[in-house]
Structures are given as structure tokens and as C-alpha cells.
Amino acid sequence: MARPKGLIVGLDLLFMSVNFSALTLFAALSTYVSSSIGLNKFTEWLASAVYSAGIFAAFFIGHSKFTEMHPRKTVFIAAVLASIPQFLIPYAVNPWEVVVLRFIQGMVMMALPIFSSQVGLLFAEARPLALGIILSGIFVGGLIGSSIGPLLAVSIGWRATYVLFGIAMLIAAIIWIGLTPRDALPVHKEEVKTKRKVSVWRDPFTLLWGFSFFPAIWIIFTLAPLISFIVESMGAPGSVNKLSSTVLEASYLTWSIIIGGVAYVLAKRRTGTPRNMFNTFASVQLFCFIITFIGVLIVMNSHNVAVLLLGLVLVAMIQGTGPTFWSAPSTAYPEDLAIRAGYALGLISNSAALVGPMTSVAVHSVAAVWGIILFMALLGAVLTFIGMKMKLPIEKYSEERERL
């Protein structure tokens, strides 16, 4: 049976777009939420930060054989954990309930390693492009939620808007489960018996490559939920705060697809060995970190709105590291370890989602926030370069099997 590649990418994109359009409502309707439930500026920041911490927990929980053996159930669980708080937040009676519910909503990212493994099954050189399209759903959803959400809130009320988007989340999950063919799902395989037990955690590459994306996650999940607060603290008027958020989201979306396409074009020009493909993808990732570094310097030295927005566009190229990083599980690891590697790499890298936004909330200094982001861009470039020099797990695995 031919695998409908376009359908799979479309279903994954639909799931991401619908879920993140709903999750964006917390920021888009923050005025309604805060005034109705009584959130102050601190609890509003904290609710945004713990959402990122929930993403870390999603990879921690997802790192199990249940996930490998039941991808459909995992995607449905991810949708349920995100949608139930969507129904409950409008009726929370105190700010701390909202904080807890936002943490639970971060569990939606349990689905991402499943999508990454799907792409590994269906694509070769085009993995970053397919992943770039899928990951762009995060920001497609952000734009939908931030534009349609306020309009609906005016016409039907913010609580009804929340509930409506929650229903859409469940419908998207049902569509994904119903239309995704079995042969386009990752299949759990027992470990091939070798002279030693195969463990992705014991491989130094897993640790290094996981931490190569740590700086990118730090930057993305600090700026995505907090950019309007950060720009406001820089002294910009309210209209600029909203514009900066829109520019950042649109740039994330655009770079996700463009950089994925660039990695695909470059990979097609080289022989398709795992080493060549990985080095091609990693080189593009290295480039993204460098451009992000330049963008942060521009933002830190901006004296007008145009320069600030230009800097944000360049900073947003950090999202281009997402398609390249998430190509690694199916490129650098054997097929039977791809899902397990995806959760391991996601857990390591998304530890930044646990501490990055929290750190930004704690320091209460815009200069310090941008200084940390600048350092993270440099660190990501260094770790990516080192990762390119390491032996890949798939290379070690092949050598081991040849010796048997």
C-alpha cells in the first residue's frame, strides 16, 4: 500500500495548528482571563512559564514503551490533556487553578516524537521540509488564535470561545486517528539482540545532541509566550507590543518552512548516507544559531521600532533548528530506536522549557533576558558543531551488528 505522504503531513499539521490556536488564547484573551479570574502580572507570567514546564513533563511521561506501541492512543491522550484544561480555565475560581491547568496543557507535545518518527518512515532527504511544515503548525495556530480569538470573544464571549476551541481540539484528534493509515504509524520493534544492550541514554551523542537544541528551546519558549511582556518592559507602546508578537509568530512560521526546504535542497545534492544527511541538516542548524545571535545583537541595540522588528525576524530563525533537530531521531538512529531516541532528545532539550521562561520571570531584567538569549545562541552553535564530529548511533549500531 502506498503511503499518502501529503495526507500524513497535512494531518500532523492540522493537529498542531488546531491545538496551538487554542493554547494561544491564554495570551490573546489575557485581558478577559485576568479580569475575570483575578490574575495579576506575576501569576500571568507564571502561567505562561509553567505551560513550558508542562512541555518538559510531556517528554518525560512519553518516554515509555506504551508510547512506542500505541502511537494513536498517545496522540489522543495528548489532545485530551490539552483540551480538558481548555474547558476548565474559563470557570476557574482562582489564579492558581489557571497555573496548574496551563501546566497540564503543555502535555500536548507528547505527540511530536510520533510525528517525527512518521516523517522518518515516509521521507529521506525531505525530512526537514516535512517537519518544518508540521512544526509551522505551532505558529499557524498562534496566528489563528491571536486573530480569531479576540473577534469571537467580542461576539460570543471569551468563555464560549475557549470552549469552542476546546471542542475543535478533540475533533482534530479524532480526524487524525481516523484518517492516519496503519502503515504510516511508527511500529514498535523489539531490540535486536547484540552483545550489549542498546540504550539511547548511554550514548554520548544522545546527551550532546539533546543539549544542542536546549538553547533553541530556551529562546523559543521564552520569547513565544513572553515577547509582548518583554517588549512592554523595553518601553514600547501597546501597539508595538502586539505587533512584535505577530511579527515573531509569523517569522517563526516562515523560517520553519524555509529552513526545512533549504536543508532538503542541500541534502539532495549529497549522497544519502546517514552521515551525509545528518551533517547537512546539522550545518543548517549551525547557520540558524549564528543568524539568531546576530538578530539578538540587533534587538539589544535597537533604537526604533523598525530595527527592533528586523532583529526579531532574524532571532526567529532559531525556529529553523526545529526541523533539523527533529530529523535526527530517524537519521542518526536505527529505525527501531527512533521513537525512543525522539523522546530522549526531547526530554533533554525541553528541560530548557522548564527553566528558561522561569528564569526570565525571576530575573525581572530585560537586559539580562536578552543577554542570556545571546549566550544561548552561541552555546547552541558550539554544541551543534561538536555534534557534527561525533560518531552517530546508527554507525555504532551497524558496526556492532557486522561483528556478530
- Answer whether residue 369 is part of any domain: yes
The boundaries of the domain holding residue 269 are: 5-396
Q: For the whole model, what pTM was predicted?
A: 0.83
- Answer whether residue 212 is part of any domain: yes
pLDDT of residue 192: 41
- Answer whether residue 39 is part of any domain: yes
Question: Is-contact 136 12, C-beta < 8 A?
Answer: no
Q: What is the CATH number of the domain that holds 342?
A: 1.20.1250.20
3-state secondary structure the chain: CCCCHHHHHHHHHHHHHHHHHHHCHHHHCHHHHHHHHCCCHHHHHHHHHHHHHHHHHHHHHHCCHHHHHCHHHHHHHHHHHHHHHHHHHHHCCCHHHHHHHHHHHHHHHHHHHHHHHHHHHHCCCCHHHHHHHHHHHHHHHHHHHHHHHHHHHHHHCHHHHHHHHHHHHHHHHHHHHHHCCHHHCCCCCCCCCCCCCCCHHHCHHHHHHHHHCHHHHHHHHHHHHHHHHHHHHCCCCHHHHHHHHHHHHHHHHHHHHHHHHHHHHHHHCCCCCHHHHHHHHHHHHHHHHHHHHHHHHHHHCCCCHHHHHHHHHHHHHHHHHHHHHCCHHHHHCCHHHHHHHHHHHHHHHCHHHHHHHHHHHHHCCHHHHHHHHHHHHHHHHHHHHHHHCCCCHHHHHHHHHHHC
- Answer whether residue 162 is part of any domain: yes
Number of structural domains (the chain) is 1
Question: Is-contact 187 193, C-beta < 8 A?
Answer: no
Look at residues 382, 198, 362, 373 and name the one whose alpha carbon lies nearest to residue 282: 382
- Answer whether residue 78 is part of any domain: yes
Q: Compute the distance between CA of residue 227 and CA of residue 248 in angstroms, rounded to an integer.
A: 8
**Apex CA 379: angle with CA 216 and CA 202, to 5°?**
80
- Answer whether residue 402 is part of any domain: no
Q: What's the DSSP call for residue 392?
A: P
- Answer whether residue 404 is part of any domain: no
Q: Locate cell 494513536: which residue?
A: 72
pLDDT of residue 3: 55
Q: For residue 239, what are the contacts with CB-CB under 8 A and spacing of at least 6?
A: none
pLDDT of residue 342: 87
| pLDDT tens digits, one per residue of 185-225 | 876 444 444 444 567 888 999 999 999 999 999 998 788 76
Q: Locate cell 539482540: which residue?
A: 193
Low-confidence stretches of the chain (pLDDT < 50) are: 1-2, 188-196, 404
pLDDT of residue 396: 83
- Answer whether residue 256 is part of any domain: yes
